[in-house]
A and B are shown apart, each in its own frame.
Chain A
Amino acid sequence: MSILNIFVLIFIIFAISRVLLRFNSKELSFKEMFFWLLIWSSVLVAVIFPKVTTDMATFIGIGRGADSAFFISILLLFYLIFRLYVKIDNADKDITELSIKLSKTLHSKKNIDQ
């Protein structure tokens, strides 16, 4: 096992512990925890048994193991960006709702005070 592999392993263990801790403190839902555990454990498997990526590459129809890892990473990144987009959009909508409600509440309060 190379030094790089050891570093990656330590990082994955750290990432998995973060996922479990965040699930424990209810910052992540069960579904989200499951999703992240699946991602990190598949990376873990790929690091410990690199041959798996080659098998998978052949199965999907991509030549080398490293290529299939890149391919899957890019798909995953697209998915995460989409999720971020949805989250930001939702936060933006919430801010608009708040502004609208607040403007009406402050106005009626002002009317009562007068």
Chain B
Amino acid sequence: MTENKDKKIYILIPAFNEESQIGRVISSLKERGFTNILVINDGSRDKTEQIAMEAGAEVLNHIINRGQGAALRTGIEYLRETATPDIIITFDADGQHRPEDIPALVDPILKGEADIVLGSRFLKEKSNIPPIRKLVLKAGILFTNFISRINLTDTHNGFRALGKKAIEKIKITHRGMEHASDIIDEIPKNKLRYKEVPVEIIYTDYSKMKGQKTSNFIKMGIKIIIKKIS
């Protein structure tokens, strides 16, 4: 990995009712040397805030649950206003992402080859994605690529690295999971250089329960179309 001691890297974690995983996720990031961790507690009704703070993260609270898109917006705006970050990594709170993959994700930005790097679970030769989920994800990818006119292998992966230009330019308009399409829309719009790198997603019963329900993808598609035509 390219030298990154002088670069300010922040890990941004949106979290909603994640008391059972958030502590472990933050500790695993710290073990890898990532100390700037910002958790957006999105109206959780459990001990997510307390556990995240005890684990050593900075925590911002949404009073009510507003969705992952809104939580990411809060985090990016807050960091932009207070910290002048060089790179922001968006990371899931449910333990789906592996901190080991972060160096590969930030590398193209550190080398000046990309403004935004997207994690892709389909670039790995061996993937452990459940078959139905794989089918739905592939349909979602085709749909998003068609709408955004961009070619990606994985469009709904929450594991990304945003460089300075992306941090400054990207605008998230959907408050829910549809924000993933917003971010992709913003790439050609702002002429951002992008790259995909393989990452591994850990599917556990917990992450499958917490993550997107397969049926939600249809709802998301309809919302995106309405937004496009209205």
Contact = CB atoms under 8 A, between A and B. Distances in A.
A104 B175 contact: no
Interface residues of B, number: 17
Given A103-B40, A103-B62, A106-B61, A96 B78 contact: no
Contact of A107 (B64, B78, B175): B78
B3 to A, nearest CB: 31
Contacts of B31: none
Contact of B77 (A92, A95, A100, A108): A100
Given A104-B81, A107-B78, A99 B62 contact: yes
B156 interface: no
A74 interface: no
Nearest to A106: B61
A102 interface: yes
Interface stretch (B66-74, B97-105, B184-192, B212-220): B66-74
Determine the main DSSP class of A at the interface with B. helix
Interface in B50-64: 60-64
Contacts of B62: 99-100, 103
A6 B62 CA distance: 54
Contact of A104 (B43, B66, B74, B230): B74
Chain A, interface size category, equals 10 to 19
Interface in A59-114: 86, 92-93, 95-96, 99-100, 102-104, 106-108
B63 A103 contact: yes
B63 A104 contact: no
Contacts of A100: 62, 66, 70, 73-74, 77
* Closest A-B pairs by Cβ, 6 of them: A99-B62, A100-B74, A96-B175, A103-B60, A107-B60, A96-B70
23 contacts: A86-B230, A92-B175, A95-B66, A96-B66, A96-B70, A96-B175, A99-B43, A99-B62, A99-B64, A99-B70, A99-B74, A100-B62, A100-B66, A100-B70, A103-B40, A103-B61, A103-B62, A103-B63, A103-B74, A103-B78, A104-B78, A106-B61, A107-B60
